[in-house]
Amino acid sequence: MSVIATNRCQLPGCSRPAFVDPITQVAHQFCGRTHAAQALSRQGRELPAPHGICHVCRLPECSEPVYYDEETDRVHEYCCKSHADEALQRGLRMVSNKTRQGHEDPFHRCSLAGCSAPRFVDPHTGHEHPYCGRTHAKLAAQRGQEAVAMSDAPLVSTVWRGRLGEPPYTISVLTNQHPRYQGIKDQFIASWAVHGPKPTVKRVMQIRNPLPIFARYQDYQSAGPAAGPGLQEARRFHGTGMRCQFGIDPNQRPCEDPDCAVCSITARAFSLAHAGGGPNAALMPAGLRYGRGLYFSRTASKSNDYARQSERILADGRHRIMFLCKVCVGRTHHTTQDRLDQAAVDQIIGSRSADSITGLTIADGGALHYEENVVYHESAAIPSYLIIYRLND
């Protein structure tokens, strides 16, 4: 325990803020007891039971340690139920919504992920707040979560704020009641083309791009490829690596590591500066197949090859994350060759006869096992969804 703010949780891979006790203002090294226990466990140590000034009974006249339920690892605010009741009678704490969890209309549930208690309604003004109480409002802010709009409550379980310092954007965890959830899941499973068991989709997250990024994409559609005939927009997969556990850990917000490809793409879309580099450079020893561009596939299992460095091992198996993107392919040049050098690509795209290149499969007279789509302008693609899945091989 420290009285100096550590800003971020000290567990490697976690970017959440370190916990600051709202009463004592003591700053801890970790975001919560779970990550503190994990960090100590790596050192061969165990997390002790609650102790110190942060864990003294909240009743002003009492200096006894708080009650700690060792079986559930729940730390209470008072030393016993009688002191908790006395604090309630004296107006020192509010009536808990916990006893009402799971019994309310989904449109009026607390916005904190995992809480199903009803939202707090101010008895004086009638105003309904997004959370069940101040504790969950503060916890949501610490986790980087936004309030779920009441109209979206049955369709969205969590809304994450984007990276600090970036243009505003959000990432929403869709429930299976969302009208787009099943279609995304079906496209992912249907396009898994390798033999063996299909993966299990764990969750789907919708990306609301920063306004400048989305506007740039719309401008590209209207000013460029839209002038020519043919397919204008397609939904394509893109696999890459990441440094954190965003998406795989349902409680982790997007990280701010500039080298985390998943969180960087979510914040700023795609960058040609990273074409041929980044976490998957080792998978391309002969260089980029069709020159310096942004690569996508209609086949999820193909993009899975490039999602290897997003893999995290959890108790139930290997989990990875993958983008489903909007790609403005415009007028595409179909090639039967398995590779084109940069000069050939520059000639095709520079002549303005095509906006993208599509590598055809062997079944379609080409040389590839799985079709690849390559665009050559950063404005031609935006990330729309993140799919978190478990491999079952």
Give tens-digit pLDDT for 328-382.
999 999 999 999 999 999 999 998 889 999 999 999 999 999 999 999 999 999 9
Strands (E), the chain: 68-69, 74-75, 145-146, 156-161, 170-174, 200-208, 234-238, 294-296, 312-314, 317-327, 332-335, 356-359, 372-375, 381-390
Q: Which of 51-55, 143-147, 179-183, 325-329 has the lowest mean pLDDT?
A: 51-55
Section 284-307 average pLDDT: 90
Which residue in the block uniquely carries the two structure tokens 């074409």?
275
Q: Is the pLDDT of residue 2 over 70?
A: no
Q: Is the pLDDT of residue 229 over 50?
A: no
Section 97-112 average pLDDT: 72
Percentage of the residues of the chain whose pLDDT score is greater than 90: 53
Q: Check residue 284 and give its pLDDT.
A: 60
Which residue in the block uniquely carries the two structure tokens 């990432």?
171
73: left (phi over 0), alpha (psi -120 to 50) or beta: left
CATH code 3.90.228.10 region(s) in the chain: 159-390
CATH number corresponding to 159-390:
3.90.228.10
Name residues whose C-beta falls within 8 Å of residue 17's C-beta, 6 or more positions apart in sequence.
Answer: 7, 8, 9, 31, 142
pTM confidence score: 0.73
Q: Is the pLDDT of residue 94 over 80?
A: no
Q: Is the pLDDT of residue 250 over 70?
A: yes
Section 201-224 average pLDDT: 93
Strands in 372-375's sheet, in edge-to-edge order, are 294-296, 372-375, 356-359, 332-335
> What's the number of CA atoms in the CB half-sphere (13 Å) around residue 272?
11
Higher pLDDT, 170 or 227: 170
Share the mean pLDDT of the chain. 87
